Amino acid sequence: MVPDAHADPDFLDRAARVLSVRHVGTIGCCVESVFWYAFENPGRIVSIIVLSIVLSSGFQTPPLFGDYEAQRHWMEITVHLPISKWYRYDLQWWGLDYPPLTAYHSWVCGIVGSWINPAWFALDTSRGYESPESKHFMRGTVAFWEAVIFVPAVLVFAQICYGKQGYLKKNIAILLVLLHPALIIIDHGHFQFNSIMLGTTLWAVNCFMMQSYALGSVFFCFSLAFKQMALYYAPAVFAFLLGRCFKEVRGINLFIKLGITVVLTFGALLAPFLTSIEDIQQVVHRVFPVARGLYEDKVANIWCAINVAIKLRQLLSLQTTVRLSLAATCLAMLPSVVHLGLNPTRKRMMYGLINCSMAFFLLSFQVHEKTILLPLLPIMLLTLEEPWAVQLFTNVAMFSMYPLLKRDDLIVPYFLTTILWNYVAGYHVLKMPKIIKWMSIICYTSMIAWHLAEANIPAPSNLPDIYTVLNVLFSCGCFVLAFIYFNWRQFSLIDNVHETLEEQKEKKQN
């Protein structure tokens, strides 16, 4: 049984100061609440201002510059080229490799940016363009889409789960999610649009909780059509919906309705590419780049950790590693997915999303450091139910991304956003059982010691990557333990975590 650590008066005082106790409830104040949480929340303002004055990924580092240039370039090509060339044009220079909804989003942003200043997105000649004005525009697009999609989704989630438990608890949940350092630093610092994928996924979760399964399926299709990494959630979502089809009175009708909804949604999203088989094949080829290899850089998953002792990429062919990672991922997520399908409740859905996405992160093919955001979304939504676990996982996730963030000169924002979030969240380990307390203390001590050593003791010339390797091994070990823990929670949890009024009625009827 996890205590309600956020009833701590010290925590409530800190949260109230950062939050200013904004009330989120009626539709009448919804727009005001979204605006405040997105643009006026003091904690977010401090974090985003700091990130706005630091460098973005690849700043002034030719030849390819970085993720910032990738996002800008996609806006450039979608504005100037016909759709048939979007996934074919000069693939060596940040060729488009995300699904069509990302391309449409880039086109909209590019149209607006070109209207302001055509030079920002001029075809070919704008490569590496990094004027202060264009950077402000690009950063503004991240903040805009986050405010339009992700922030309202978080507010609605809190209303569904905590609307009957008082405005303070509800607003605390919102605060801890929106101040989460990982999403802030990756989207606003490293520079991406993950809030759109995560926001549409959260809208799907909200719909599922309110038994609007077809509408939720539409939102999840949007998430998949924006970034293929949303597939990390797909088995859990499929298991939950299939389970609901068996539980509902008109399950067959729901099954048919969901099938038609998915086909029509993807059909509409892919319609511009359906004019030729070659166009569809090229989209699939770009979205699933198998040739890149088993993993990218030094990601804290099992394959990269094993590589320290066993060089799998040298021992096995590309096709073999694809099959191996697929089989391992399926085996790892199978218990959670089957359990969720047999017990498709809202509270188990949250843990199913965690465990399924964790299995993908640890064992799937072509994983990047940033994809830890996928399991982080459902984990941070449990911040009031699993305070110590969410806090520890968040800190390890941030720690695992440190080598990536250091390359982007995001060290100061890394420490700032992490410390700010921990200050608001409080420190709950001392109130936990002894074994959890000591495990957590060991983890935190190890991360602090690593940072001190990395900053003050140069790596040996014969082991230049020693600190990164140690980071990978430590973080991977913590993630494996977290995967085991959240699986155990899914199978054993009987508390009313995120139980909706509809679910309570179902229990009474049965």
Judged against a pLDDT cut of 60, whether residue 174 lies above it is answered with yes
Mean model confidence pLDDT for the chain: 85
56 and 131 in contact (C-beta within 8 Å)? no
Judged against a pLDDT cut of 70, whether residue 16 lies above it is answered with no
Q: Is residue 272 part of a domain?
A: yes
Q: Is residue 65 part of a domain?
A: no
Q: Is 203 helix (H, G, I), strand (E, B) or coil?
A: helix
Judged against a pLDDT cut of 80, whether residue 84 lies above it is answered with yes
**Would you state the structure tokens that stand for residue 359, as one six-digit string?**
């299995």
Per the structure, the complete domain to which residue 320 belongs is given by: 197-509
Q: Residue 423 has what pLDDT?
A: 87
Phi-psi region of 293 (alpha: psi -120 to 50; beta: other; left: phi over 0): left
Q: Is residue 404 part of a domain?
A: yes
Q: Is residue 132 part of a domain?
A: no
Give the model confidence (pLDDT) of 335-372 as tens digits. 999 999 999 999 999 999 999 999 999 999 888 889 99
**First and final CA of the chain: distance in angstroms?**
26
Q: Is residue 94 part of a domain?
A: no
Q: Is residue 96 part of a domain?
A: no
Q: Is residue 165 part of a domain?
A: no
Q: How far apart are CA 409 and CA 57, in angstroms?
A: 8
Give the model confidence (pLDDT) of 30-45 as tens digits. 444 544 444 455 555 5
Q: How many domains does the chain have?
A: 1
User: Phi and psi of 367, rounded to 5°?
Assistant: -100, 140
* pLDDT tier at 12, thresholds 50, 70, 90: low
Q: How far apart are CA 105 and CA 410, in angstroms?
A: 26
Which residue blocks in 344-465 are alpha helix, DSSP H?
Answer: 346-363, 373-380, 387-400, 402-407, 411-425, 434-456
Is 407 exposed, middle or buried, given 0-12, 13-18 or 19+ CB atoms closer than 10 A? middle
> Looking up tokens 């511009």, which residue turns up?
272
Top-confidence residue, 52 or 179: 179
